[in-house]
Homo-oligomer: A and B are copies of this chain.
Amino acid sequence: MSAQPLARLAGLLADPTRAAICLALLDGRAWTASELAHHVGIVASTASEQLSRLVAGGLLVEERQGRHRYLRLAGPGTAALVEDLATFAATQPGSAATPAPAPRNLRESVRRSAEARARTCYDHLAGRLGVAVADSLLARGVVSDEAGLAVTVPGRAWLTTTVGVDVEALRHGRRPLVRSCLDWTERRPHLAGVLGAALCTHAMDAGWLRRVGTGRALRVTTGGAEALRDLFGITLDQGAD
């Protein structure tokens, strides 16, 4: 019976401090030990111990550079796991003080994105922008969710030629091409998987989006607003954190 490994893994996330660290790292970037310590409100020595524990448990990987110790999640699978757990935990019990915004239709969701927060979730887009993009792709038939998400045939062509994301090149490795990832602030799904990651990368490379500060927040550039409108039919004011 494999109860022992399960308990060991769960134990890593069973402490609020370590959980907060993993959630912070969901932005997919490497943080230094002291950044994390400050972020979760513990002293450096404690952080050092907890981080070592997370690394030893395989959830985090570290990279040492000079006097810095950079930490990030071990991989997309790890991020998906943490994300799933956090989502489940947030939807499940009397986890008090969560106002739970009701599901909205496409138009309203896009409209709300106008004043929107955009952010990353591990390696793909999340927040209202992420939800709006997902809604748009679904509405335009680029992806369908007949029995699980999938890229349609015309959708593949459109992504490759018009948007500039080579779908065929993504279809390697075992990571699913497109996966639904529930956002726990928006409570609505957005696109993860290789395609989600590629879209995010593309948006950054093309200068549509820019990181703001050290967190997961994104800012939509002027050119980005244009591109989002033309390609996805999403209108939003830029900036707005």
Contacts and interface: CB of A to CB of B under 8 A. Distances in A.
6 contacts: A5-B86, A8-B89, A9-B85, A10-B11, A11-B14, A81-B85
A105 interface: no
B150 A6 contact: no
A2 to B, nearest CB: 5
A147 B149 contact: yes
Contacts of A23: 1-3, 6
A18 B86 CA distance: 19
Interface stretch (A174-182, A203-211, A219-227): A174-182
B2 A86 contact: yes
A81 B171 CA distance: 26
Interface stretch (A30-38, A90-98, A112-120): A90-98
A20 interface: yes
Interface in A68-93: 77, 81-82, 84-86, 88-90, 92-93
A14 B10 contact: yes
A147 B152 CA distance: 10
A57 interface: yes
A215 to B, nearest CB: 11
A55 to B, nearest CB: 11
Contact of A14 (B7, B84, B90): B7
Given A5-B89, A57-B93, A89-B5, A14 B14 contact: yes
Given A13-B10, A77-B88, A89-B8, A148 B3 contact: no
A147 B176 CA distance: 6
Contacts of A95: 2, 4-5, 8
